[in-house]
Amino acid sequence: MIRNVLGSLLGLIGATAAVWSPFRAWYDGRHGRDYRVEELFGSAGITDDKAALMGSLFLPFLFAAVLALVAVVLRSRLLMAFSGVVVLGFAVLWMVRQGQAAGSLSVGGGDGEGLGDGLASTFGAGALLILAAAVMSGRPRRRDRVTREPAPEPYAEPHPAPVEDPARPPAPSAWPPPPQDHS
């Protein structure tokens, strides 16, 4: 139970970071919400066109956050890991397309040039979601669950003990008697 709570907490933090990351600078001071999702898959690549919020990188990260919430409710490790893969996949895909458009990617300093902290929080969010999936114990499997079947009968001797006849004493044992403690 502790593992599920800790995994759920990590998953919720990761989902929050994933949804928050498009509102931060990704490259050269441009926010993630300014990149259109179709630019990642189109032949034109990344352009300077602005995107509507629901057509931007916010959409796949919102989808991943909803997956993470469903994973928390269902205690599903698979859904949690999938949401982390979605976040990391879109971040890597964006990096590839941005690198193609810019010719190269650079890690910038504090002047707003190069890769920004929005992209860094995206990678952190994806890592947290995958870590949450690893930490969670998930739901018990069907065969591991406690069934509500009646308890088995206690073990009974296959044959009842023989009735002793007080007129006939038992036969002597071939083994010596156990030592007696005379303390």
Q: What is the mean pLDDT of the chain?
A: 85
- What would the two tokens of residue 180 be? 């007696």
Phi then psi dihedrals of residue 115, to 5 deg: -65, 135
Identify which has the larger pLDDT, 166 or 146.
166
Cα(6)–Cα(1) distance, integer angstroms:
9
Give CA 78 to chain center in angstroms.
7
What's this model's pTM, rounded to 2 decimal places?
0.72
Asked if 129 contacts 68 with a C-beta cutoff of 8 angstroms, the reply is yes
The pLDDT of residue 10 is above 80: yes
Cα(181)–Cα(56) distance, integer angstroms:
87
Q: Choose among 94, 89, 121, 116: nearest CA to 30.
A: 116
**95-142 confidence digits (pLDDT tens):** 998 888 888 777 766 566 778 889 999 999 999 999 999 999 877 776
**15-41 confidence digits (pLDDT tens):** 999 999 999 988 888 898 989 898 888
pLDDT at residue 66, as a whole number: 97
Identify which has the larger pLDDT, 64 or 171.
64
Q: How confident is the model at residue 161 (pLDDT cuts 50, 70, 90)?
A: low
Q: How confident is the model at residue 148 (pLDDT cuts 50, 70, 90)?
A: low
